[in-house]
Amino acid sequence: MPHHRSGHVDIEPNLVRPYALTEGRTIPSIDLPLEAIVATVEDALTKRLAPEDIRASIVTLCEQRISIAEIAAHLAVPIGVARVLVADLVVTGALEVQATLRSDATSVERRELIERTLSGLRAL
């Protein structure tokens, strides 16, 4: 349980090793940049996940459209673990990756992405 003291929140340590969450995999099955925005898709798989399954937590977080970096921060897992798990959920159809920027994006589009990312990080 988190303990509150003088505005600081201690996250309870996760007793499951990161490699156990990903079954030893360190590379996601699809390319996912850290800033990729992920959203939940209504799918039968999400209803079959046990509430204590970290994948269920990821699906719930993604109902609000969230970046992979934010998922890792919210769940206190390494970014590589978040990328592998999110990729698995995208492949199964439980999540979808929202378009971020194309290589020909304008400076305004790039600035808006940076502002959304900073806003999301501040919200953590």
pLDDT at 78: 87
Residues 6+ apart with CB under 8 A from 40: 46, 59, 60, 62, 63, 94, 95
This model's pTM is above 0.75: no
Q: Could you tell me if 21 and 85 are in contact, meaning their C-beta atoms sit under 8 angstroms apart?
A: yes
CB 66 within 8 A of CB 37: yes
Low-confidence ranges of the chain (pLDDT < 50): 1-11, 13
pLDDT of residue 4: 42
- Count of structural domains within the chain: 1
Domain range enclosing 37: 19-123
